[in-house]
Amino acid sequence: MYSRNRNERSRSPDQKIKLHVTNLPVQFPQGQLITLFSNYGPVGKVRVIRNGPKGFPLRQHCYAFIEMENLADAQKAVEDLNTRGWEVALSKDSKNALSRSTEIMWPGCLTRCSSLRVNVRAKVIKGLVHSFLKSRYQIDINHRARPADLPSYPPKFIITIEAAEEDERTAFMEHIHYFQRKDRVGVASFEGETLFIIPPGEKAEGIYEKMRLDQMLGGMWGEKEETPRLVPQLRAIQGVDEIFKPENTFAIAPAP
């Protein structure tokens, strides 16, 4: 039976993801950080650190911490801005919290055709602990799809699924062999979202290379996000399109 105690080590939904931005000009405006990161998702607290450990002003560069509500948004900001000249990373605290969240094991059962049922456990590999891990004890596979029909971009949420106990292993391997023979993936729906159940093979290994042959992969994809458009207020600062590099965007004009 499902117990909420198993998720006590998970990251609280109220705990923000914190990003660390380094190598900023010392006069970098805090408001522009808020505007920029809001282009990727909801932003919480923002702190720009302009003084060193002893309280003296930093002379060459400052750094900042930005809180974001959603891990996927934070990861998108990190990936996109780092390709544009910024230096952005998850803070040490957020990395540690996410590392602990991947230790969560979800005990439940996997069913196919309503009657074929096996007890399993799932481990979160990527993304936040999804709501179905908190509210359900059963994954119902009610459709099939071709591996080629899966999106080509990375999923936002990944779990590995394996037999809960050794005596369940044979039944679980039958599920794996079924999907391999059919060259199909399983499809399960949760609250308007779709979880694809992927057997071992080229497709699964392309998503998670550490997957074992006695596991299946669960993946959820969101809509593919386009690169955020430039914020008009930021573009207006310099009157140029290449505004993403902080040293270009916020260079202080020389005194007349």
Q: Which residues are within 8 A (CB) of 234 and not within 5 positions of it... i.e. 6 or more apart?
A: 32, 35, 36, 243, 249
Whether this model's pTM surpasses 0.75: no
Both 240 and 162 in one domain: the answer is no
Regarding whether 80 and 27 lie in a shared domain, the answer is yes
Looking at the fold, whether 124 and 194 belong to one and the same domain comes out as yes
pLDDT band at residue 137, thresholds of 50, 70 and 90?
confident
Instruction: Tell me the C-alpha distance between 28 and 188, whole Å.
Output: 47
* pLDDT, tens only, 73-99: 888 888 889 888 889 988 877 766 665
Q: Do 149 and 212 belong together in one domain?
A: yes
Query: First-to-last CA distance in the chain?
Result: 73
Q: Are residues 39 and 70 in the same domain?
A: yes
How many Cα atoms within 13 Å fall on the side-chain side of residue 159?
Answer: 24
Q: Would residue 2 count as lying in a domain?
A: no
- Angstrom distance (rounded) from CA 224 to CA 107: 30
For residue 35, is it within any domain? Answer: yes
Per the structure, how many domains does the chain have? 2
Residue pLDDT, tens place only, 139-151? 899 899 999 999 9
- Within this chain, do residues 197 and 109 fall inside the same structural domain, yes or no? yes
Domain of 33: which CATH number?
A: 3.30.70.330
Q: Are residues 95 and 107 in the same domain?
A: no
CATH number, domain with residue 130: 2.40.290.10
- Ranges of H-type helices in the chain: 30-38, 71-82, 92-101, 131-135, 169-182, 202-207, 232-238, 246-249
Per-residue pLDDT for 154 more than 90?
no
- Answer yes or no: do 108 and 204 share one domain: yes
**Contact call for residues 63 and 20 (beta carbons, < 8 A):** yes
Does 256 fall in a domain? no
- 55 domain residue, yes or no: yes
Q: Residues 7-41: pLDDT tens digits? A: 333 444 446 789 999 999 888 899 999 999 999 99
Same domain, residue pair 190 and 242: no
Angle at 61 between CA 58 and CA 62, to 5 degrees: 70
Nearest to 130 by CA among 11, 15, 5, 2: 11
Q: What is the mean pLDDT of the chain?
A: 78
When pLDDT is cut at 50, 70 and 90, the band that residue 248 belongs to is very low
Q: In angstroms, what CA-CA distances link 243 with 36, 166, 232?
A: 10, 57, 10
The pLDDT, as a whole number, for residue 26 is 85
Q: Which one, of 127, 92, 70, lies nearest residue 22 by Cα?
A: 92
Let me know if residue 59 belongs to a domain. Answer: yes
Task: Please give the Cα distance from 249 to 231 (Å, whole number).
Answer: 12
Domain co-membership, 38 together with 111: no
70 and 164 share one domain: no
What residues make up the domain containing 51?
17-100+226-249
| Cα–Cα distance, 103 to 132 (Å, whole number) | 17
In a domain, 8, yes or no: no
**Residue 111 pLDDT level (bands cut at 50, 70, 90):** very high
Q: Do 109 and 203 belong together in one domain?
A: yes
pLDDT at residue 187 in the model: 94
CA-closest candidate to residue 102, choices 16, 3, 10: 10
Has residue 129 been placed in a domain?
A: yes
Higher pLDDT, 112 or 11: 112
